[in-house]
A and B are shown apart, each in its own frame.
Chain A
């Protein structure tokens, strides 16, 4: 039973356009959400996070939106760049900050940004 779902395994976007990656979750106890980015043969790296007390968090070209009633979050990248091509993992925790490690990860969405 997947508690964190990324229903789109892949996404292709033109350079300069907006990339929108979606994530749905089922556990209403989740109070903290993170996005990780992963290049081939490398470990995931932290991108951006949001706690459940907010509905938006922005960091440069990256914005995460959280809709608690819909149990849905999305990552917006604008403008998209070829270097953004990677696999993006959504993760959720019922333990704020997730420092106890019990993050639940989605399967990931492979983003391809074409020049």
Chain B
């Protein structure tokens, strides 16, 4: 059973198209995230949601819109795709901070987006 699953794993599309990447976690975590791994291998946070509410929204273009229908799902919708959007996108989830929790992130396998 995959704890954090994202679909699709691979996505090849043309510039200007709109696409979505879905993420689901079955860990019962309250907080979910989207990270982007760029061509330089950096992992950077894009968004963070806690119980369906947006917590973190880093400097990401408005073309990127996360949607959380419930706390187990956080989907990423991208409008008007550009070449620079090509990257691997990782979904993650975590437990809230408490004395027993390290706050570690549980990552999905990643979705490789290629924009042509």
Contact = CB atoms under 8 A, between A and B. Distances in A.
A interacts with B: yes
Interface of A: 32, 34, 36, 41-46, 49, 89, 91, 93, 96-103, 105, 107-108
Contacts of A43: 4, 90, 92, 107-110
A107 B103 contact: no
Nearest to A89: B43
The size bracket of the interface on B is: 20 to 34
B40 A46 contact: no
A99 B101 contact: yes
A96 B4 CA distance: 23
Contacts of A45: 106-107
B42 A102 contact: no
A101 B97 contact: no
Main secondary structure of the interface of A (DSSP, over half): loop
A41 B55 contact: no
Given A46-B104, A107-B40, A41 B109 contact: yes
A107 B41 CA distance: 5
Given A41-B110, A99-B94, A49 B104 contact: yes
Given A34-B104, A43-B92, A43-B110, A102 B97 contact: no
Contact of B109 (A36, A42, A46, A98): A42
Contacts of A100: 31, 48, 55-56
